[in-house]
Amino acid sequence: MKHSFSKVKTDRNYNEDFKTYITIGVLQYLPAQIFWNILRASVIDNHSLPKSSGEIEQIDFWPKWYKLQNIKVVTNKKYIEPDIFIRFEKFDCIIEVKKTDAIGQYETQWESQTQAYKNEYPEGKPLIYIALGGNPSLDALSLDKFKHVYKSTWLRLLREVDKALQERISFSFKSEETYQESRILKSTLDGFACYNEYVIEFMETMDLYKHSIKLPTKKTLTQLWKI
């Protein structure tokens, strides 16, 4: 996916659209339930999210929704454009992406995209809205109109992708499906690497019984840090 520049959205400037396409755009090729498991685990306070997704019926990147009735905040655009829209069997999911975890999400955008979705799909399927990145506060939302909105971070998504990969590497028996899933997960981590984002194991979290450090001299680790 990261080798494709066929869409205007996927340019070589490493913007948020390109980041979306080389991470989630790659993860979409996993089995639907594994894909949802990773998305769900990346969400903060995810206990109320459904555990089962069913199959993916439709996935669109940057769909254009032209029905703007009842939308309070409308810009000069003639359409509303969420970053990702996924129709699982059991629910629909909007993912609004910001390039970093610092800033960028705002409630008026959540509100306008939610209403645009209702205009496009009035049949009333349950909607889950994931705000990925750009959340200066990770506190849960209290307003009823945002009960369907869940915050996620790129760091959490990155760690869940790596966790899924490490699980498959550890399997004593690897099927053809295992190897395929591992390739998809590895490719996703390569996408994160384009943005210098990696999983780092902090030393205080390492299992001291499984990781030994051989020093060339009798210097202690504390002494080495001081050099």
The whole-number average pLDDT for the span 144-173 is 95
Backbone angles phi, psi at 23, to 5 degrees: -115, -75
pTM of the model: 0.82
Distances (CA, A) of 8 to 15, 20, 108: 12, 13, 26
The pLDDT of residue 99 is 93
Q: What is the pLDDT of residues 193-218, one digit of tens each?
A: 999 999 986 555 555 444 444 555 55
The whole-number average pLDDT for the span 20-37 is 97
Strands 127-132 and 92-97: parallel
The pLDDT of residue 224 is 38
How does residue 143 score in pLDDT terms, banded at 50, 70 and 90? confident
Q: How many Cα atoms sit within 13 Å of 24 on the Cβ side? A: 30
Torsion of CA 47, 204, 197, 52, to 10 degrees: -20
The pLDDT of residue 183 is 97
pLDDT at 49 over 90: yes
pLDDT at 91 over 90: yes
pLDDT at 31 over 80: yes
Distances (CA, A) of 120 to 63, 67, 85: 11, 7, 12
The whole-number average pLDDT for the span 28-37 is 98
